Structure 1
Amino acid sequence: MNIVYKTAGKIALSAIACTLFLQTQAQDKRIVQANAYYASGDYYTAAQLYEQFLKPGPKEKSKADFPLNAKRNSQGSGMGKGVTKNDIIYKQAESFRLANYFPQAAERYKTVAEQEPSKYNDAWYWYAVCQRSLGKYDDAEESVNRFLSNVTANDPLKAAAENELQTLKYIKAQLVRPDTVMYTLNKTTLANETGKGVFAAVHLGGNQFLITSTETDTAATAGVNPYHSRVFAATLENNEFKVGESVSLPTSEVAINQGAASVSADGNRIYFTQWKNSNSRKSSAIYLVTKQAEGWSAPVALTSVNADGYSSKQPYVSTDGKYLFFSSDRPGGAGGFDIWYAPLQADGTTGEAVNTGAVINTAADEQAPFYHSYSSILVFSSNGKQGMGGFDLYTSKGWETAWKPAENMGHPVNSIRDDVYYHTNDKTSVLKNAVFSSDRGSECCLETYTVSKAPKKKIITGLVIDKKDNQPVSGVTVLVNAGGKQLKATTDASGRYTVEVDTDVTGNVTVSKHRYSEKQTDLTIVNTDEKDWSTDKFTNKDIVLERKIILTPETVVTVYFDFDKHNIKDDAAFKLDSLYDILVKNPGAIVQISGYTDGLGTVEYNKVLSDKRAKACADYLIAKGLDTARINFESFGECCPLEMEVINGRDNADGRAKNRRGLINISYPPKEEE
């Protein structure tokens, strides 16, 4: 599979193995071949060749029989000068580990560590890594401490072992997180039990994907691994991949591998990785093919992202078609593989590559970038940050070289194995309808998983207070309008209201209570609390209510009417009720009611309408029991506007509304002189 293993894993041989296996004199051809495959990065084939030597067939046993702990050179044993059986077992353990066959690697590390602990102290560390990868965390911790108890200060694995203890601690904390219940994670299966593993899935739309998988070349070539990765079309239904024909991306070499593809938004270009084992190293480069009438064009190497002598891989085209993200160990990075990006030209080629910077990249390896344009979040894999082991998936919000600190996506997205190749087409959340690759459910190879996380609850809360004394107001009716929905709440004894929304926290709030003026205001979030695993709490700014005017005998009362209406509205009724209470307490008082209109309509019509408005106020008071002798009313039509109704040639609707009024004056007859 097309991944690079973690930094500690790059220490492929201890000092012992490096020296002992340089000598090939008198070595069995299987060991010579195994060493060659190991050097080229084909670890699984190397492991099998070591196994053939260690466990020969019946006809070969007499030639290869030797004691388990032989330390002297045995001429004719086939191991080579100075090589022991434990040396070969250790090298086989390394091969299995680097191929991600952890059960087999663990068994062999344990064998040599117990047989020769002083010589193979490193095996205790690697045994711990395998134990952790198999979910045996307490045993792994014990093995790490056993390694550290005998390690020298300058041992290159000492820092890695100390970090492994932190990894084990992190894993245990992740496994007890309560929010894992919000995730839905499923392993995809393959239709018709084809047996092909699939990884690096890229969503094309609907249920259509491009995936990377393994196929067997029809023409076997001696000395060439017949299994190669290729790009396939696939459909995903009910977590089952139906793999179609391979996408015919031209290649000139049978032994070349192709995969980790990305498609331009218009579907006319595919960017993909080609890699092979050569010169004792795995080298990869990024290519572009363009759709033509007869198929795909010949691959074009992207010279600005590929660097001679280095590897570039795992391209991702941003949804806006402006940038190509990729992973490379080219010079200018933080070390190992880094995340880079390059601007895309009109012809699909790339401009100068730029490193995303130290916030994203480490001295270890970062790979498989995916950029979620809708939320401005970069998702990538790394083995150089605090994680659960192997490659973990991380997110960082930002763009170009300005990024926020990367955050581990956590369990269950991440596992104790390698998690990589993240992708989603969802426009609302990076954690919805996503696919990614992981080897958590297998002995060795990457497989595809789907994941979605249920959104956290969104709670809007706030306080309603009295303007006069800043005290909380209880029993206030609160209507929150957000996302096209109206949510109702009532303030409690502390003046606080709470509503749950399922949309963005935008909209407005209307609050009302008897004897207070109704108030509407936009939602203005002054504090966001996201600490709770299930709920995000958004605190709205305090809403200040003003008490309605308490009438006194000296008060002039104004009530307002809707356009072309004369009915008494609720706020007018409240004022007239208060006025009536005063008139009852002051039996000598009388009222003068004047009716007015705005400037629209004819003079005659407005005179009638203003008369109806004045009379409506009088009738309301009479209906409550006020003596008609204490009421005088008069209509004035459009006379005497309080506000200008036209400003700079434009209609002033608010001004007109204030002119549609009834004016009520309270007065007292003069007292007779005694």
Structure 2
Amino acid sequence: MKYYLFLILILMGSLCYAQNDRKLAKINGWKKSAQDNYSNGEYEKAIEDWYKIIKIDSTYLDAYYNISDLYYFLNDKENSLKILEQNVFSNGQYFSESIYMLAKRYFLWGEYTDAKEAVELYLSNKSINGSRREKGEKFLKNCEFAIDQINNPVEFDPINLGENINSKYDEFLPSLTIDEDVLLFIVTRPITRMGKEEFQDDFFLSFRNGNEWTKAKPFDEINTPLSEGAQSFSADGSLLFFCAYGRKDGKGNFDIYYSYKSGKSWSTPRNIGKSINTYFRESEPSISSDGKTLYFVSDRPGGFGGKDIWKSTLTEKGYWRQPVNLGDSINTANDEYSPFIHPDNQTLYFSSNGHMGMGGYDLFVARKNEYGWSKPKNIGYPINTSKDEINIFINSSGKTAYYSSRAESGFGNSDLYYFEMPEKVRPHMVAYAKGIVFDAETNQKLEARFELINLKTGETVIQSYSDPEDGSFLVCLPQDNDYALNVSKEGYLFFSENFNFEGTHTQKEPYKKDIALIPVKTGKKVVLKNVFFDTDSYELKPESKVELNKLAGFLNSNPTVRIQLNGHTDNVGSESDNLVLSDNRAKAVVEYLIKNGIPASRLQAKGFGESKPIDNNDTEKGRANNRRTEFEIISK
């Protein structure tokens, strides 16, 4: 390389084009032939056409560039570089732009030191100024960045997902449910249509069976004779967003669709609508774990480059708002692809060829902050290489990543792999809870409304329904916060629980809670687990409002129901003091409900002190269970 660069300095000259009409006609003829062969995938024939142009005019720069590109597509590194090196010495003349193109090609092949030397030579030409110099200096920094990444690699040991998932065809874009029990991905397969072989993208599904994956099968409920892909599961796996091509109800060629799961069946996919889909390309959706924000890629007007990442938020009435561009901290003048919003709803992964990278498309991570998004960080070499890294999926713990790669050790062209995520680019750890809602008397599975509320902020984090057929639910949320879980259904007393996701509730050890809803009947009781008092106090703590507002809502929905608030304590302290304290606590709840519009005639309060324990008082846990406020139905 240094020998070439030394000669280049000697061979600097001026470029002169001299073409007669006959020569130009021949060139245009071979150029059209080359373009046609390229369009038909006949890369070798296209290369021959461009070489014929070079024989006519050895200074025709586009021919050298296109031949190099075609050899790049054919993964022929030697010839891809050789033709550009030949171009630099063509006719003994020095072409500054040819040097820059050679530097870019060295970079794409991962020859970062050669690329750096070439671009330094390019910049040594004093005639390079203005935007050309700015472009060259930016590229020089990228070369230095790539060399630094090579010298400081991250730990990376990808493991192939195996023959039940991967095949001789291309597998890519993995997506999993939050519990990692279901894997959905795309397979590019050859099909015959009207006597002609074509390639089509279809969904394939696999299910976890212990430590193995079942043999992947086509997702026939969603697949069509056209291509589908770029999918995203909701956290509980009951809602699927994906991109489809060329459907009759499409707003453009590429639109986003969704499908609901009920029991074991999926609904007919529906177009997400004109608030998101346009005449332009909308694809690669990623839904937040709370189901309220959809990230996607579009080339619509109003962006910063070719393809940008946008987001739309869901209204309380269930409509998607007009999308908003994520801004120039994420999007560049080039292209951004494959957004993946982690279940922590704070960490965004995406692919880009516009940020500082290793060549082609690299994977980046950005974190949400008070100003929008942090500056994207390259997730490191050798995860990112000189080739294209397009997609990644990170599990709830943030420790395991899934992606596709064309590694030589695979079963085919592109296979699915998993690897341990480097700590510095991990998201926040997220826990999840799962369970079943059922009738306490009949055990019938119920479709019920559930809410998860941050007790500190009062924010409703999740609002959804359990599955109408099997009563199942699954929710995820960041750890180290206190949450209220409220579950309700018409005709039933609501259920309440509070918990803190301490430690790690992972795919192997989720927080499990099966919920028995009690029918509204006289004498039935519900413990208000999210009503809180300080020790020896009957003043309601602010976080109690979440639960008490829920109780007020229940009473408003059941206007004939009368209740009694029962206060209970543990056995710490005197029996008489505990009786007074429990009575005052019950009265405090009644007063709150009256202030919030519930008639006093429908409410009673009674304290029982320590006389009705539901657990032993020998442990702190038992005493905590005995300290409780409950409501009892006294008439319907």
TM-score by length of 2: 0.54
Partner of 2:159: 186
TM-superposed deviation, 1:318: 1.5
Partner of 2:193: 219
Distance 2:362 2:306 in 1: 16
What is the identity, as a one-letter code, of the residue corresponding to 2:202? R
8 Å Cα contact 1:356/1:401 also seen in 2? no
TM-superposed deviation, 1:217: 1.5
Partner of 2:418: 450
8 Å Cα contact 1:190/1:243 also seen in 2? no
Q: What secondary structure is seen at the aligned counterpart in 1 of 2:69?
A: helix
8 Å Cα contact 2:180/2:208 also seen in 1? no
Aligned counterparts, 1:602-617, within 5 A? none
Unpaired runs of at least 5, structure 1: 1-14, 56-65, 73-82, 277-281, 457-502, 507-597, 602-644, 652-674
Deviations 1:571-624 (A, max 9, x none): xxxxxxxxxxxxxxxxxxxxxxxxxxx9989xxxxxxxxxxxxxxxxxxxxxxx
8 Å Cα contact 1:211/1:233 also seen in 2? yes
TM-superposed deviation, 1:326: 0.5
Unpaired runs of at least 5, structure 2: 1-14, 247-251, 425-477, 482-571, 583-636
Partner of 2:311: 341
Partner of 1:170: 145
Distance 2:257 2:159 in 1: 32
Q: What secondary structure is seen at the aligned counterpart in 1 of 2:289?
A: coil
Partner of 1:366: 336
Kindly indicate whether residue 409 of structure 2 is the aligned counterpart of residue 435 of structure 1: no
8 Å Cα contact 1:417/1:438 also seen in 2? no
Please, which of 90, 94, 97 is the counterpart of residue 115 of structure 1?
90
Distance 1:174 1:422 in 2: 20
What is the identity, as a one-letter code, of the residue corresponding to 1:329? D
TM-superposed deviation, 1:435: 1.0
Please, which of 276, 282, 297 is the counterpart of residue 305 of structure 1?
276
Partner of 2:616: none
Deviations 1:504-537 (A, max 9, x none): 999xxxxxxxxxxxxxxxxxxxxxxxxxxxxxxx
Please, which of 385, 393, 400 is the counterpart of residue 363 of structure 2?
393
Kindly indicate whether residue 230 of structure 2 is the aligned counterpart of residue 244 of structure 1: no
Deviations 1:403-425 (A, max 9, x none): 23332222333223222222123
Q: Which moved more, 1:101-110 or 1:129-138?
A: 101-110
TM-superposed deviation, 1:446: 5.4
8 Å Cα contact 2:50/2:66 also seen in 1? no
Q: What secondary structure is seen at the aligned counterpart in 1 of 2:331?
A: coil
What is the identity, as a one-letter code, of the residue corresponding to 1:175? I
Deviations 1:477-506 (A, max 9, x none): xxxxxxxxxxxxxxxxxxxxxxxxxx9999
Partner of 1:62: none
TM-superposed deviation, 1:29: 7.9
Partner of 2:395: 425
Q: RMSD of the TM alignment (CA)?
A: 4.9
Please, which of 245, 259, 262 is the counterpart of residue 229 of structure 2?
259
TM-superposed deviation, 1:370: 1.0
8 Å Cα contact 1:93/1:105 also seen in 2? yes
TM-superposed deviation, 1:433: 1.5
Distance 2:258 2:370 in 1: 22
What is the identity, as a one-letter code, of the residue corresponding to 2:403? F
What is the identity, as a one-letter code, of the residue corresponding to 2:378? N
TM-superposed deviation, 1:247: 4.3
Kindly indicate whether residue 255 of structure 2 is the aligned counterpart of residue 285 of structure 1: yes
CA distance change for structure 1 residues 155 and 125 in 2, over 3 Å: closer, same or farther? Answer: farther
Please, which of 50, 71, 78 is the counterpart of residue 57 of structure 2?
71
8 Å Cα contact 1:270/1:290 also seen in 2? yes
Count, aligned residues: 416
TM-superposed deviation, 1:216: 0.7
What is the identity, as a one-letter code, of the residue corresponding to 1:144? V
Please, which of 35, 41, 44 is the counterpart of residue 45 of structure 1?
41
8 Å Cα contact 1:92/1:108 also seen in 2? yes
CA distance change for structure 1 residues 384 and 600 in 2, over 3 Å: closer, same or farther? Answer: closer
Distance 2:92 2:416 in 1: 39
CA distance change for structure 1 residues 388 and 29 in 2, over 3 Å: closer, same or farther? Answer: same
Distance 2:222 2:16 in 1: 44
Identity %: 25
TM-superposed deviation, 1:196: 1.2
Deviations 1:111-135 (A, max 9, x none): 3333357476434333333323333
CA distance change for structure 1 residues 239 and 339 in 2, over 3 Å: closer, same or farther? Answer: farther
Q: What secondary structure is seen at the aligned counterpart in 1 of 2:118?
A: helix
Please, which of 403, 417, 421 is the counterpart of residue 373 of structure 2?
403
TM-superposed deviation, 1:165: 1.9
Partner of 1:35: 35
8 Å Cα contact 1:188/1:241 also seen in 2? no
Partner of 2:602: none
TM-superposed deviation, 1:315: 0.7
Distance 2:46 2:93 in 1: 23
Deviations 1:3-41 (A, max 9, x none): xxxxxxxxxxxx999x99xx9956798853542576xxx
8 Å Cα contact 2:244/2:257 also seen in 1? yes
TM-superposed deviation, 1:234: 3.9
CA distance change for structure 1 residues 646 and 263 in 2, over 3 Å: closer, same or farther? Answer: closer
Aligned counterparts, 1:467-616, within 5 A? none
TM-superposed deviation, 1:398: 1.8
Deviations 1:26-60 (A, max 9, x none): 6798853542576xxx5x826344035468xxxxx
8 Å Cα contact 2:165/2:213 also seen in 1? no
Q: What secondary structure is seen at the aligned counterpart in 2 of 1:217?
A: strand
Partner of 1:58: none
Partner of 2:111: 136
Partner of 1:328: 298
Distance 1:67 1:337 in 2: 34
Partner of 1:200: 173
What is the identity, as a one-letter code, of the residue corresponding to 1:370? F
Aligned counterparts, 1:3-42, within 5 A? 32=32, 34-36=34-36
Deviations 1:149-192 (A, max 9, x none): 458536866544332321221122223337x34x5433555459
Q: Which moved more, 1:24-33 or 1:88-97?
A: 24-33
CA distance change for structure 1 residues 93 and 191 in 2, over 3 Å: closer, same or farther? Answer: farther
8 Å Cα contact 2:401/2:421 also seen in 1? no
